[in-house]
A and B are shown apart, each in its own frame.
Chain A
């Protein structure tokens, strides 16, 4: 008998070596691509931090923009405006989006549901400036003026399909067995959804909502012709209202380095808001196991 190698030992044939080499190559390419993507993200973050952090101070949040070219001042009204606009949008976007998601997941059979699902899918892909136009035609023109309300409505409409599709996905994942348990106890469908299905999916739904809020917080285009922006303190939603992305946009277009640096600071604040929101979600839903 020839001294054949044991079948479990790695073989030395050219064919097997080629296979291992190509396996390593693909693995290396995948890792390199992932590293590249992460590297871009890190570079972006570091750049914004380095350019913006020195100009981030308390007055950033408490003062109005200074005249172009002068130092000092801040974006206080923009921060306030963004918070108000996101709040306004959420009042509209969360209930409508969540209910649509519940409808699609729990009652979504038949052609009407199919049409709704398709519409939601299309809406998530539409450029957001069009929602701005929609709100412009619907509210700005009849009311003869830009307003925070129209901006909130535009952002709210953007939120609806995002919240609807993430809610539907998460609700679908709730196992059938749990629903059956509730029905077998004599619960109505509505009660089953409220007491059993929704709580089971709550973590995912909250995550989806917060991510949608973070997304619209950064939207600029729909606000250009609705909230329009301003450089004064304004909490009145019937008047033009400022927002961080708008102010950043204006400042970046200025020829003065001071304003550009403040724009970086504003970008940093926006990114930080999104980070804080994401971590808050993780913290809140991580501990969300049992009540009482």
Chain B
């Protein structure tokens, strides 16, 4: 799925969090959003699947075209948008009162997209797709509370994959994890980008360097620079980008 953001402005109550953002995200690639805290990268990510609507006093102006359709058009309902876009959060938020199997199945259950045999297949496929199947296939009926942080995060990825989305949004998915789990998830992302558009917010520039095809640098609610990753880090065009990449502020 292609994402085209045109002239996006986003507010929380009176405070404007994003100013005039224009960005086109190529399909089947990984795009990293980097920038200091409070620069608006998470807000931007949430605007892509209308999760920002849930924030108090949320207001959005501009267009977000996904496969040509403006998701903020009047006729479009947020929940149909979210069904086709997966989201993974910073803290793994597996549902504790459901089993591992039920956690992965819940998206399909809620949306009525599959049941019975088809649902079993989807759950297995998603767990394999998230590189978690081998580790949990013997305990699908147990609570996810037993899993490690990295495993829980992969469970959340499997849960998102179960809806067979075209886009996967990840909001600092590795920041709560240890380096080993982080590496596992980065390898997973590189695999997933073969058939998904991945947009990942990260505060870790090395991570962006490792996995992202394109990197976008945000500062104070504006998109400062977007470029192919190696070029952005090696030859930043703007001074602010250069300062951030060099670690002069964070």
Q: Number of residues in A with C-beta < 8 Å to the partner?
A: 22
Q: Does B211 contact A (CB under 8 A)?
A: no
Q: Does A14 contact B (CB under 8 A)?
A: no
Cβ contacts A176-198/B at 8 Å (1 or 0 each): 01101111111110010001100
7 more A-B residue pairs beyond the given contacts A196-B95, A202-B97, A292-B141, with a C-beta to C-beta distance below 8 A: A177-B93, A178-B95, A181-B95, A185-B82, A186-B83, A186-B107, A186-B110
The answer to whether B143 and A289 touch across the interface, beta carbons within 8 angstroms, is: yes
The answer to whether B80 and A200 touch across the interface, beta carbons within 8 angstroms, is: no
Residues of A within 8 A of B (CB): 175, 177-178, 180-188, 191, 195-196, 199-200, 202, 289-292
Q: Which of chain A's residues have a CB closer than 8 A to the CB of B86?
A: 184
How distant is A188 from chain B, measured CB to nearest CB, in Å? 6
Q: How far is the CA of A61 from the CA of B94 in the complex (A)?
A: 49
Give the one of B80, B89, B95, B111 with max A CB within 10 A: B95
CB < 8 Å: which of A187, A188, A290 contacts B98?
A: A290
In chain B, positions 198-227 with a C-beta closer than 8 Å to chain A are none
The answer to whether A177 and B97 touch across the interface, beta carbons within 8 angstroms, is: no
Q: How far is the CA of A146 from the CA of B185 in the complex (A)?
A: 69
The answer to whether B79 and A184 touch across the interface, beta carbons within 8 angstroms, is: no
Q: Does B156 contact A (CB under 8 A)?
A: yes
How distant is B141 from chain A, measured CB to nearest CB, in Å? 6
The answer to whether B111 and A185 touch across the interface, beta carbons within 8 angstroms, is: yes
Q: Number of residues in B with C-beta < 8 Å to the partner?
A: 33
Q: How far is the CA of A290 from the CA of B81 in the complex (A)?
A: 30
Which of chain B's residues has its CB closest to A199's CB? B97
The answer to whether B51 and A186 touch across the interface, beta carbons within 8 angstroms, is: no
The answer to whether B107 and A290 touch across the interface, beta carbons within 8 angstroms, is: no
Q: How far is the CA of A291 from the CA of B89 in the complex (A)?
A: 26
Q: Do A185 and B51 contact each other (CB < 8 Å), given the known contacts A180-B93, A200-B97, A290-B142? A: no
How distant is B164 from chain A, measured CB to nearest CB, in Å? 12
Q: Does B197 contact A (CB under 8 A)?
A: no
Interface of A (DSSP majority class) = helix
Q: Which of chain A's residues have a CB closer than 8 A to the CB of B160?
A: 184-185
Q: How far is the CA of A195 from the CA of B103 in the complex (A)?
A: 11
Q: Do A290 and B54 contact each other (CB < 8 Å), given the known contacts A181-B93, A182-B110, A186-B82? A: no
The answer to whether A290 and B80 touch across the interface, beta carbons within 8 angstroms, is: no
The answer to whether B89 and A181 touch across the interface, beta carbons within 8 angstroms, is: yes
Q: Does B163 contact A (CB under 8 A)?
A: yes
Q: Which of chain A's residues have a CB closer than 8 A to the CB of B79?
A: 186-188
How distant is A186 from chain B, measured CB to nearest CB, in Å? 4
In chain B, positions 84-101 with a C-beta closer than 8 Å to chain A are 86-87, 89, 91, 93-99, 101
Q: Which of chain B's residues have a CB closer than 8 A to the CB of A200?
A: 95-97
CB < 8 Å: which of B91, B111, B143, B156 contacts A186?
A: B111
The answer to whether B91 and A183 touch across the interface, beta carbons within 8 angstroms, is: no
Q: Which of chain A's residues have a CB closer than 8 A to the CB of B143?
A: 289-290
In chain B, positions 40-89 with a C-beta closer than 8 Å to chain A are 49, 51, 54, 79-83, 86-87, 89
How distant is A286 from chain B, measured CB to nearest CB, in Å? 13
12 contacts across the A-B interface (CB closer than 8 A): A177-B93, A180-B93, A181-B93, A181-B94, A181-B159, A183-B82, A185-B110, A186-B111, A199-B97, A200-B96, A289-B97, A292-B102
How distant is B151 from chain A, measured CB to nearest CB, in Å? 16
The answer to whether B97 and A290 touch across the interface, beta carbons within 8 angstroms, is: yes
CB < 8 Å: which of B97, B102, B159 contacts A185?
A: B159
Which of chain B's residues has its CB closest to A177's CB? B93
Q: Which of chain A's residues have a CB closer than 8 A to the CB of B94?
A: 181
The answer to whether A195 and B93 touch across the interface, beta carbons within 8 angstroms, is: no
Closest 5 pairs between A and B when the two form their complex, measured CB to CB:
A186-B83, A184-B87, A177-B93, A186-B82, A185-B107
The answer to whether B51 and A292 touch across the interface, beta carbons within 8 angstroms, is: no
Q: Does B183 contact A (CB under 8 A)?
A: no
The answer to whether B93 and A186 touch across the interface, beta carbons within 8 angstroms, is: no
How distant is A281 from chain B, measured CB to nearest CB, in Å? 17
